[in-house]
Structure 1
Amino acid sequence: MKNNIILILLLVSGINFQAQNKPNLVIIHTDEHNLRTLGAYRATMSKEQGQIWGEGNIVETPNIDRIANEGAIALNWYAPSPVCTPSRASMVSGLYPVATGSPVNDMPLKDEVVTFAQILKDNGYATAYVGKWHLDGEGKPGFAPERKFGFTDNRYMFNRGHWKILGENDNGPFVDQEINKNGGGVWDHDKVDRDNFTTDFLVDKSLEIIERDKNKPFCLMLSLPDPHGPDQVRAPYDTMYKDMKFEVPLSATKSKEQIPGWVNLNGKKNIVKEAKLQRGLTNYFGMVKNIDDNVGRILSYLKENNLEDNTIVVFTSDHGDLYGEHGKLNKGLPYEMSARVAFMLRYPGAVKAGKSVEKALTMVDFAPTILGLMNIDQSDNEFHGIDASKDFSNTQKEVKDNTRIVYLTNAGGRWVAAVNSKYKLVLSPSDMPWLFDLEKDPNEMTNQYNNLEYKEIAIKLEKELYAQMEMYKEPLDISKLKK
């Protein structure tokens, strides 16, 4: 009997030891997030670039910055297609958007797509998804879709919408707003508080799930619908930045020769009005601050529950938001603040604190990279992306690599682009090729394509872009691209 008890104890301790050595994964994923609002990224920029809306007009993000300061920051991480659905599809699958069935917004993910969550589930992980999904077609809000794609607990997953007030009753979560004729929520400022504002609500539910699963390997993806519009946030965040006088970014005032044909300004040089910028950014900054405070709650919970050292924390976004740059709002263009997104990763003991990765990467690389970092076998999966886990886990403080060229696409057929850590080439049926020197021209104002000094670079990017368009079955016909 005594021997049996010893054997059982050894088996249980062995199971616990194995569970403890499987790293947990927490992904914090925001929507339409301009990375200039994050201190860790501003620290890598000139003052002019870090404060494009006017000197001193910044939002401090100490909690999000901690992830980079205590781990790694990727300086050239892109959305493979800078709109919601295709970027999210690529992130969960490791495939380019056209292969997922979701190359444009509101197109459902193919049933046969295998996600990183499914792979983790098959490897013994408890998996959960909280927040906006946008991969189940047109359903809105669409709580708890039937197709879970490996996320065992998807009670708080909703398909579409940027709802500001959520609630929960015996039937589950619900949108606690009047829905207008356009399908959006009517903002009732007096009704919203700390308990029902969407970001706070979703973080509360995430912490409840982690508490439930903390004694086994777990993966939780938290997808916050902010700071995507509508630009509304609860008190006190709605008034924190009201005294700032926001300026229209420099790149919004361009000559006709500086506006590519693939930028639709409705015949105008600039469609961004200063008053709209003032109203919007006051609340946009407030949303970012609210997100940062909630990230602090998550990090504190992990520390207090002795989960910090064995949990990978990722902070990223589906795409950016130009917010006045180039005379535009929102996303959908190959410009940096539309297509480039924040990507920070903390994994104590495995990833060097304060590390920077300058290699060009995209959401297509997320699944193979995160699984590689977690030592999960990937031999049965055919990803389009690469496993860049060694770039994050090696002993180098700075990973500099301008050889990797990634391909970006626009499902509407307006443009395709090739990017490395220094240059970007954009091809389109509506204009001549545009080549940007991202180091010398961070505002992306000057076309260097016909500059003889850049001829070799242009040829290299163009050749690689054509090769990847063919490899990944880009729907835009190469013969339609202007030379």
Structure 2
Amino acid sequence: MTFASQRPALRTFAFAARCLAVLFVGCLTGCGDDAQPAGATEPVASRRPNVLIILADDLRYDGLSATGNPWIQTPALDRIAQEGVLFERSYVTTSRCCPARASFLTGRYAHVHGVLTNKPKTDFHKSFSTYPEELHEAGYRTGYIGKWHILARGQESGPRPGFDRWVSYEGPGSHFDQEFNVDGETVPSKGFQADRLADYALEFLDEQPDDEPFLLTVAFKNPHVPMTPAPRHRGLLDAAAIELPESAYDPVDSLPFFYRRIRSNTDRNHAIESAAAYVEETRRYWELVLSIDDNVARILAKLEEKGELDTTVVIVTADNGQLLGEHGVQQKGISYEPSIRIPFALRYPPITKGGGTTESIALNVDLFPTLMDLCSIPSPPPSDGMSLVPVLEHPESVVRDTFLYAGPQWNNGEMEETAVIDGDLKLIRFVAADGAQDVLFDRAKDPEERRDVIHDPAYAEDVRRMRAFLESESERLGL
């Protein structure tokens, strides 16, 4: 018996009710082989798509050549973006590994599901359903392969609810010779971790029954530290003319007061040690992305071989972004654009006909309701996000242009950071025991977010509107 099959009676009853609803929808929409999708918002029970999620770790929005990367080519990842819909404005609601990963799974903000730091004390599974659990109960064969990193150290290597196949490991893991937990059994491995994860993914697909849909998440550690790329890629960027961003040389006192602390706090590995060290780290960071791409190519080729590529929802995204020297800081967890902005592309030919790009904002909490919509899960649990299916069919539409960002806990909750992204404007609010500060950036005129215009009279009405939104949205979400 698999871990995921051990279900409480209440959830079994819920599944039976959902099955009846799906059968009813199928009778209305037609279940024959020639049934065609009539639109993005029509239930899709008759065509039950497979789902493949490619989740990178710490990958910035510009981590693909399709999103403007000048250093590397990522043809497999680009294919998903170019043949699907690329969300040019995609964000996480909290930029930190554990909170963001739990938000993807539950569709809820971090303060709701309770995973507020990278050392969480709460098991969110006890209170919140996840999309793997929902799809599993709807008849999907489910697999998770790769980095989990959502529970406290010592608690997270074993199988989690909702998965028939489980291949993961404890904590951040290693890029080489990673020891895996495979369905509860400890299994050693040799070589580069991303390659071994892709091997397990191919095995999962080879074993997939023809009459059963699947949900497979492949969660790569890349390009998370340590910056140790696969030997076949290491050194490819040694000649790349990478330099520190201009903002790295900005005076410390030009930054918002909380960011001054981060830049000065070398204990958190946020500050830049030297320009030479930065260039070395950045070259290796981009080289780590290359092994995501060539392993995604292997997985897409397997789906094509099985004739399943065009019946599979393929998503590429990341748990959060990464600062690479901007403002003299690296890592993530703060409201600057490279930290909170992620790649998000979805390919599913029955809906994403011809592909395209959209300016409509996508959030990580949108993944849950979008999958519920695509897979026709009746009466899904509540979510703080929204289904992106209407945008997938009509990329020119904009269904969200403003959202509230909620920063992770810092210093045991002594520091709070929230932000409103409204078009090209970003209002950030810091509240700490020793003071508070609002700052405003106009990214249309200042894309690197170097000039605070909060006191510029020309923005007075914008500040009023955005402060009002921050207050109302915080109240609505229960912050």
Q: Provide the TM-score with structure 1 as the length reference.
A: 0.82
CA positional deviation for 1:405? 2.4
- Sort the Cα spacing of 1:459 and 1:227 in 2 relative to 1 into closer, same or farther, 3 A: same
Amino acid at match of 2:405: Y
> How does 1:367-382 map onto structure 2 within 5 Å?
367-377=368-378, 379-382=379-382
CA positional deviation for 1:116? 0.6
How far apart, CA to CA, are the structure 2 residues paired with 1:382 and 1:401? 19
> How does 1:17-416 map onto structure 2 within 5 Å?
21-42=47-68, 51=70, 58-107=71-120, 108-110=122-124, 111-139=126-154, 142-145=156-159, 148-154=160-166, 156-164=167-175, 165-166=177-178, 172-174=185-187, 196-215=191-210, 216-256=212-252, 258-263=254-259, 264-266=262-264, 271-377=272-378, 379-394=379-394, 396=395, 398-400=396-398, 403-412=401-410, 413-416=415-418
Matched, 1:444 2:449: yes
Partner SS, residue 324 of structure 2: coil
How far apart, CA to CA, are the structure 2 residues paired with 1:63 and 1:238? 19
Deviates more, 1:86-95 or 1:353-362: 353-362
> How does 1:411-430 map onto structure 2 within 5 Å?
411-412=409-410, 413-429=415-431, 430=435
How far apart, CA to CA, are the structure 2 residues paired with 1:169 and 1:431? 45
Question: % of aligned pairs identical?
Answer: 29
Structure 2: 5+ residue stretches without partners: 1-30, 35-43
Deviates more, 1:433-442 or 1:303-312: 433-442
Whether contact under 8 Å (2:72, 2:290) holds in the other structure is yes
CA positional deviation for 1:109? 2.8
CA positional deviation for 1:173? 4.5
How far apart, CA to CA, are the structure 1 residues paired with 2:188 and 2:449? 40
Amino acid at match of 1:149: P
CA positional deviation for 1:214? 4.8
Deviations 1:108-160 (A, max 9, x none): 432121001111111110111111111232227x4323xx2312222x12241
Amino acid at match of 2:216: L
Partner SS, residue 238 of structure 1: coil
Partner SS, residue 383 of structure 1: coil
Deviations 1:317-376 (A, max 9, x none): 001110111111110110111111111110012113332222223211210122212332
CA positional deviation for 1:256? 4.6
Q: Which residue of 1 aligns with 2:462?
A: 457
How far apart, CA to CA, are the structure 2 residues paired with 1:80 and 1:462? 18
Partner SS, residue 86 of structure 2: strand
CA positional deviation for 1:101? 2.4
Partner SS, residue 144 of structure 1: coil
CA positional deviation for 1:19? 8.7
How far apart, CA to CA, are the structure 1 residues paired with 2:107 and 2:290? 30
Partner SS, residue 427 of structure 1: strand
Partner SS, residue 371 of structure 2: helix
Whether contact under 8 Å (2:103, 2:110) holds in the other structure is yes
How far apart, CA to CA, are the structure 1 residues paired with 2:402 and 2:391? 12
CA positional deviation for 1:443? 0.5
Q: Which residue of 2 aligns with 1:471?
A: 476
Partner SS, residue 114 of structure 1: coil
Partner SS, residue 264 of structure 2: coil
- Sort the Cα spacing of 1:122 and 1:251 in 2 relative to 1 into closer, same or farther, 3 A: same
Partner SS, residue 194 of structure 2: helix
Whether contact under 8 Å (1:248, 1:274) holds in the other structure is yes
How far apart, CA to CA, are the structure 2 residues paired with 1:235 and 1:299? 23
How far apart, CA to CA, are the structure 1 residues paired with 2:476 and 2:117? 19
Amino acid at match of 1:70: E
CA positional deviation for 1:267? 7.7
CA positional deviation for 1:409? 2.5
Deviates more, 1:87-96 or 1:398-407: 398-407
Matched, 1:432 2:437: yes
RMSD of aligned residue pairs (Cα, Å): 2.5
CA positional deviation for 1:196? 2.5
Q: Which residue of 2 aligns with 1:7?
A: none
CA positional deviation for 1:280? 1.1
Amino acid at match of 2:148: W
Amino acid at match of 1:411: Q
Amino acid at match of 1:313: V
Amino acid at match of 2:66: A
Amino acid at match of 1:327: G
Q: Provide the TM-score with structure 2 as the length reference.
A: 0.82
Whether contact under 8 Å (1:358, 1:421) holds in the other structure is no
Partner SS, residue 415 of structure 1: strand
Amino acid at match of 2:478: K
CA positional deviation for 1:468? 2.1
